Structure 1
Amino acid sequence: MHYTDKKEYSFSTCWNIKRHTTGQGMIEEILSIGFKHVELNYNVTEELLQTIEPMIERGQVGISSVHNTFPHVADPDYGTDSVLLGFDDETRRKRAIELLLRSAEYAHRYGAKAVVVHPGEVPFTYNIDESLKKIYHDEGKDSPAYQALWQEMLEKREAGSQHYLKRIQESLEEVCNVSEQRGYGVSFGIETRSRCYQMPTLQEAGTIIGQLKGAPLGLWYDIGHGMMMDRMGLYDNVREANALIDHVVGVHIHETVGLSDHWCPYIHSKDMNFFDSFLDIIDRSPVKVYELKAACTPEEIDESHNLIVTRISERQRERQKAE
């Protein structure tokens, strides 16, 4: 089958990393479905890079972005679901800063535009998000059980958010300063997250970006995660995300069906209208990356992409007529 040339759109290795034992095989499969650019996600190991780097050097593939912590770090303290840049323990916080700068150094080396950053979280003694999602599925958002636990989560999150926001901001300021001194020339995108106790919310992202004006820092808007947090009740995703459109440095394109994410927009939800709310953000975003799960087929990915680019083109034409 012939797949559409995806041009400036990029594709995350999270889709097929578990299917491959070599980096070359993983990248070749992505290229075969029409992509020229790839985001290297946080599970890419140094071993996989041994066969990816020659492909980058030969110009066979462009790297749009890398996802911190990159290459893969097995220590969960520095994984994607941790306090990370908000650690109170100074030794661990400094290590998190060093690892983010290492990701930026790789991004610079590969000619990438951005580093995707999970900044941190308000820590809980257990995964309260998992418990909330189970009640959401079993009893619904309006159930007394959900509302009671949600209120408990919200109170604890709000009690700790200012402290951790300040720590994260200090860490990001340090990272941006060192990155600029070293001439890495990459943007850091703080990503909207998939668990309700994680940071940042869109409002928190806006606060950090506002405080660090002039730094190479912006919002990495993960559309599916935003949809999920909106459904759970954390923020008004469509309104708040579009309000931050000028600060978006990158976007993860996927759709959430219920509270299950990383599906192909329009295709799996069968909703042919709602995802239109995010097309302006995708259009304006300097880096556009599909972040899809392994269950999405090449045919579904192609169909979803064609819908997105066709609809964006239609919107552009309508605007030109209006002018």
Structure 2
Amino acid sequence: MLSFSTAWNSNRHRSGESIVREILEMGFDAIELGHGLKAHTVHEILSFQEKEGFRVSSLHNFCPLPPEVMVDNPDCYEFTSHRLTDRKRAVRLTLQTIDMAERFGAKVVVLHTGRIKTLKLTRHLRELVENEGNFTRRYSKEKLCAVLRREKVGESYIQRALDCLMEITDYASEKGIRLGIENREHYEAMPSEHEFVNFLQRLDAPNAMYWHDFGHAQIKHNLGLLDHSDWLRKMGPRTMGCHVHDVGWPFQDHRAPFTGEIPFEKLVQFLPPDCLFVFELHPRTAKEDILSAAARWRTLR
């Protein structure tokens, strides 16, 4: 299935109905509700769905946006926070997103699992790549230092995330909802690619699988932290869905597919036949580029 995220146009419309209409008029028959939607907009979309019957494929945690959060920020509360109150709030908001997914008839909630906020690794690595490239001796040394620092402190953050997710996966299972744990573009994010398989094994929840973000993986590829093809070959059997967007070298993401450097034709072969694909594009992406990309994408599957 090819779905489309409200991240592209939610800030341009005053009503939930107009957000959905614009997407449906481009030929998409399913939408993902993004993490930036306020509660009144989500309820407007729900009312519109009851009248029109369009399909909601997925919700991106947190949906709706917490009322106390003024700007779109999916990481406003994290399972890895050192504050117990923040972790409890993250769990509660995720359970509410699962409830909302059930109301929409969506079967998937996409979520982030947290960060090591005390580490500031990615910005420095990005600056080096932008200024010098990713094959210099200096960059190799700095990357190795970042990997060692990240590995040294990761376990305690992993355990915090797992403790939260065990409650969430049980609740989601009761509701018939699957959870897609998304790879992130920042090296501080949990879990890292090195940790991902073990993380899923320790979680041991059949309804929790990997969610592949093409753009985030390509950014990690450009940082020399993974090989995109090898990574997707490894994780393909564990993948339930993908956020689809392209990247211009080195870190210009959320572009229309086929306008950047990601070799989609090569990569989609590693994904299961029932994989859910969601276009998640920058608001400035031209509608003509979206329509062209969608037509080309449908020839791949």
TM-score, length-scaled by structure 2: 0.90
Q: Compute the displacement of 1:39 (Å).
A: 0.5
Tell me how far apart the structure 2 counterparts of residues 146 and 81 of structure 1 sit (CA, whole Å).
29
Q: Which residue matches 1:35?
A: 28
Q: Is the 8 A contact 1:202 1:241 kept in 2?
A: no
Extract unaligned runs of 5+ from structure 1: 1-7, 313-323
Q: How does 1:40-189 map to 2 (within 5 A)?
A: 40-73=33-66, 74-75=68-69, 79-81=73-75, 84-124=78-118, 127-143=120-136, 146-180=139-173, 183-189=174-180
Cα displacement string for residues 182-229 of structure 1 (whole angstroms, at most 9, x for unaligned residues):
x31111111010112112233322212222334310001101111111
Q: Compute the displacement of 1:277 (Å).
A: 2.5
Tell me how far apart the structure 2 counterparts of residues 107 and 262 of structure 1 sit (CA, whole Å).
24
Q: Compute the displacement of 1:300 (Å).
A: 1.3
> Which of 239, 254, 268 is matched with 1:279 structurally?
268
Q: Which of 49-58 and 283-292 deviates more?
A: 283-292
Q: Is the 8 A contact 2:184 2:216 kept in 1?
A: yes
Tell whether 2:221 aligns with 1:240. no
Tell me how far apart the structure 1 counterparts of residues 160 and 133 of structure 2 sit (CA, whole Å).
35
Extract unaligned runs of 5+ from structure 2: none
Q: Is the 8 A contact 1:282 1:288 kept in 2?
A: no
Tell whether 2:251 aligns with 1:262. no
Q: Compute the displacement of 1:281 (Å).
A: 4.5
Please report the RMSD computed on the Cα atoms of aligned residues, expressed in angstroms.
2.2
Q: Compute the displacement of 1:49 (Å).
A: 2.0
Q: Which residue matches 2:202?
A: 211
Q: Which residue matches 1:224?
A: 215
Tell me how far apart the structure 2 counterparts of residues 199 and 88 of structure 1 sit (CA, whole Å).
14
**Matched-pair identity in %:** 27
Across the two proteins, how many residue pairs are aligned to each other? 298
Tell whether 2:300 aligns with 1:307. no
Tell me how far apart the structure 1 counterparts of residues 28 and 270 of structure 2 sit (CA, whole Å).
20
Q: Compute the displacement of 1:290 (Å).
A: 0.6
Tell me how far apart the structure 2 counterparts of residues 292 and 9 of structure 1 sit (CA, whole Å).
13
In structure 2, give the amino acid aligned to 1:298.
K
Tell me how far apart the structure 2 counterparts of residues 114 and 227 of structure 1 sit (CA, whole Å).
24
Q: Is the 8 A contact 2:191 2:199 kept in 1?
A: no
In structure 2, give the amino acid aligned to 1:58.
K
> Which of 269, 278, 294 is matched with 1:289 structurally?
278
TM-score, length-scaled by structure 1: 0.85
Q: Compute the displacement of 1:83 (Å).
A: 6.9
In structure 2, give the amino acid aligned to 1:202.
E
SS at the partner of 2:154? helix
Tell me how far apart the structure 2 counterparts of residues 48 and 62 of structure 1 sit (CA, whole Å).
17
In structure 1, give the amino acid aligned to 2:78.
L
